[in-house]
Amino acid sequence: MAQQSNMIYKQQLALNSDNIVALKTQLQAKYYMIIGEGSVFLGLMLLGIFQVRKAFKKESELLARQKTFLHSVTHEFKSPIASLRLQIETLLKRNLPTDMQQQALNNALEDTDRLDQLLEKILVAARIDNKELPIYPENLNISEKIKETITQVNRAYPARKIEQNISPNVYSYVDAWALSSITTNLIENALLYSAQDKTVAIELAQKGNNAVLEIKDLGVGIPADERKKVFEKFYRLNSTSKGTGLGLYLVDYFVKKHKGQITIKDNTPQGSIFEVVLPGKKV
């Protein structure tokens, strides 16, 4: 009898031991499950915080650029308006010789061109944002079109020296108006960031199936880590830079729209080279 009771006791003890092991295993499994779920939740929470901070930083930077843009565009408008007013007042108040009258009228016309170009940049950027700017590419003799654009820029900046080496009869499948915008903004950017006595050079050549346009300046140059940023909307190298921060943004948009490429390289002995590669004539 005692032996039977002892066996029953041992069986119960073994059973309790198995239950304890099973319970311990279950507890460990739950512990690891809680740790795993907690880690996933913590990871997701940290990722969310990171994304929110990133979005906030980007929004803050854009807001800062917009404020800078408003300040810059106000200045850009005031300068030609003040000059235009001065030319008109001079013509009204003084009995000037014919040659001086002609000069005052030419100056007024240049100021009008500057205002027109500034307004066009703002309106085009707005149309891009609203997806309301279609392009109509065609097989275009861009040699002639770029020469026309250089003539227009020369009229707006008569005191600046612009050299050109334009190969004849270079064709590209491109929108004529967009090409003019690309060329104008690149030349103006080169003039803006180089000294008054420095020359800006424009070159156009056919290379393989592509048309290659290069605008070379002798300005301050662009650091390598800034070269992608300068194509962002409202971006300028520093807060004291001239311009509105829209010109290169428009250039980048139109080049990509035509499935082209734009790169920035160092010029020798100083300055930058903006190289635009556009697709050739469409067969």
Residues 137/173, Cβ–Cβ less than 8 Å: yes
Which residue, among 147, 144, 146, has the nearest Cα to 169 in the 3D structure?
A: 144
- Predicted local distance difference test score (pLDDT) of residue 265: 92
* Residues 138-279, CATH architecture: 2-Layer Sandwich (3.30)
What pTM does this model have? 0.67
Which residue, among 124, 182, 103, has the nearest Cα to 150 in the 3D structure?
A: 182
Entry field: residues in the chain? 283
pLDDT in tens, 189-227: 999 888 889 999 999 999 989 999 999 999 888 888 888
Given the candidates 1.10.287, 2.30.30, 3.40.1350, 2.60.40, the CATH classification of the domain at 71-129 is 1.10.287
**Three-state secondary structure call for residue 206:** strand
Which residue, among 186, 204, 53, 90, has the nearest Cα to 143 in the 3D structure?
A: 204
- The number of beta carbons lying within 10 Å of the beta carbon of residue 78 is 10
Do 71-129 and 138-279 come out as alike in CATH topology? no
Question: DSSP string of 36-53?
Answer: HHHHHHHHHHHHHHHHHH
- Residue 245 to residue 231: CA distance in whole angstroms: 8
- Collect contacts of 126-132 with beta carbons under 8 A, ≥24 apart: 128/250, 128/253
The torsion angle over the Cα atoms of residues 219, 222, 223 and 225, rounded to 10 degrees, is 180
Instruction: Break the chain into its structural domains and give their ranges.
Output: 71-129, 138-279
pLDDT in tens, 36-81: 777 777 777 777 777 777 666 666 666 665 665 555 666 566 777 8
